[in-house]
Amino acid sequence: MEKLDRKTLCKHQSITLKELAELASKYPLAIVGGVQRGKTTLMKHIVREMTELDNIKIRVWDSSVKWLFESPATKAYVVPQPSIVIYRGNKAVSYECSPQISDEELTRILEDRCIVFDISELDDIEYEREFQKRVIHCDKEYLIKLAKQNKGEITERIVHVTEEAQGSFTSNSLRQKQNLWLAKVISVGANYGLNFHIVTRRPSEVSTQVFEHTSVKCIAQTNQPNDIRKLKTVFSWETVEDIKKLRLGEFVVLTSKGTFHYQSTIYRDKIPQIYEYRAMQEQGKISKLKTLAKKLLRKIFRG
């Protein structure tokens, strides 16, 4: 029997990357997978699509330096101690300042639609969290004021993306007294338009509260035992087995509307495509049944 192509099987039930970006603009999102599986590339494409939407701002917290290159962000702010460097295009304009930036300066920085905060040079996690707290507080204050003016209707959204989230949201970090404010914002922020996205290669090391709060989960191939155990709390055993076999650029995407299969084609034609995972699974079962039927027929004719 001719080998069936999963892409051909699922082409009639495909959804676009733009639709995935629309989901990401409204709901918290997690991208998880092993090393070099296309996680950051996918998030960059989602962010690029979100920048095309109206009334949305994006803040990227990057400890990996990946977002400083080939990034959809309009500006990148390197946050060392005790200075801030502002990148405009390919030129870096830096100025010295105290760790506590003035409220006016921070407000000016946050006016940009898509910003990368480069925190790769920060060794002090407390300073990093304090700086992040000020940014999130400004966004929260702005969105709550806006929601009250519009009688609870969300007219603008702000998305915070954390790269290498296992370093920022460790397993028990949100249970610590000094981080309870962040746990609260992550839990209720979506009510007034504040969402948190994460990218991580080790979901087992990420706070359960953060991971479970994400409504959209994009899972790439991984074989780490601890990570597999964590994924089994979200996906069925059959889906987890499929996750182990995913190829580079492939993701299983879980949303409130169902489970989908993502096959990235950005390495070939720069146009990512998403295929319905459920349809692929059903076609796989049909293929197995046909194979079994063929074996039975062979036995009958040989007999």
233: domain range?
6-302
Q: What's the CATH code of the domain at 294?
A: 3.40.50.300
Contact (CB, 8 A) for 72 and 44: yes
Residue 171, number of CB atoms within 10 A of its CB: 14
Apex 298 CA angle, 297 and 303, nearest 5: 100
Using pLDDT thresholds of 50, 70 and 90, give the confidence band for residue 174.
confident
| Least confident segment among 112-121, 228-237, 260-269, 277-286 | 277-286
* 96: phi then psi, degrees, rounded to nearest 5: -80, 145
Task: Report yes or no on 236 lying in a domain.
Answer: yes
Alpha carbons 114 and 111: distance in angstroms, whole number: 9
Q: Which token pair is 193?
A: 């338009």
Instruction: Please give the average per-residue pLDDT across 113-120, as a whole number.
Output: 89
| pLDDT confidence of residue 144 | 94
Q: Name the 3-class secondary structure at 160.
A: strand
pLDDT in tens, 72-92: 887 888 776 655 555 666 665
Question: Residue 142: pLDDT above 70?
Answer: yes
Question: Residue 193: pLDDT above 50?
Answer: yes
Residues 6+ apart with CB under 8 A from 35: 201
| pLDDT confidence of residue 58 | 94
Task: Report yes or no on 82 lying in a domain.
Answer: yes
Using pLDDT thresholds of 50, 70 and 90, give the confidence band for residue 191.
very high
Task: Report yes or no on 1 lying in a domain.
Answer: no
Domain count for the chain, please give it: 1
Instruction: Please give the average per-residue pLDDT across 216-228, as a whole number.
Output: 88
Question: Residue 95: pLDDT above 50?
Answer: no
pLDDT in tens, 4-54: 344 433 332 456 788 788 889 999 999 999 888 889 989 999 999 999 888
Using pLDDT thresholds of 50, 70 and 90, give the confidence band for residue 256.
confident
* Span between the terminal Cα atoms of the chain, in Å: 21
Alpha carbons 49 and 146: distance in angstroms, whole number: 24
* Closest by Cα among 253, 184, 189, 192 to 217: 253
Task: Report yes or no on 154 lying in a domain.
Answer: yes
Per-chain mean pLDDT for the chain: 77
